[in-house]
Amino acid sequence: MIDWTAITGFQWDGANATKNHDKHGVGCPEAESVFLATDLRILEDPKHSTPAESRWHAFATSSHHRPLSITFTIRHPLIRIISARPMNSRERKSYGY
């Protein structure tokens, strides 16, 4: 479970930020906006989690009104975004977008 009261901001790896923008057209501010969306859904990612670090998926509409899929981890007190991209058709169907 994530203690949202302990989160103070975001951490980006420069290469991931560039990749998300160049490959998927999603910039850092838009990706971060997902965490403030009223339709935010968070799911744990046990397949890619390790005993040392849990991974999570966030699904929501961004500040640019696009349904996005965000993969992230928590490195207290920050959210470290690993991947940010538009939701695929399966995700849009599953989450009602």
Task: Give residue 26's pLDDT.
Answer: 97
Q: What is the pLDDT along the chain (97 residues), one digit of tens a residue?
A: 799 999 999 999 889 899 999 999 999 999 999 999 999 999 999 999 999 999 999 999 999 999 999 999 999 999 999 999 999 999 999 988 8
Cα–Cα dist 28/10, whole Å: 9
Task: Give residue 61's pLDDT.
Answer: 97
With a threshold of 0.75, does the pTM exceed it? yes
Task: Give residue 97's pLDDT.
Answer: 82
Measuring CA to CA, which residue among 64, 7, 3, 53 is closest to residue 31? Answer: 64
Task: Give residue 12's pLDDT.
Answer: 93
The β-bridge partners of 41 are 59
Cα–Cα dist 97/15, whole Å: 29
Task: Give residue 90's pLDDT.
Answer: 95
Measuring CA to CA, which residue among 69, 61, 85, 77 is closest to residue 10? Answer: 77
Task: Give residue 95's pLDDT.
Answer: 83
Q: Give the three-class secondary structure for 55.
A: strand
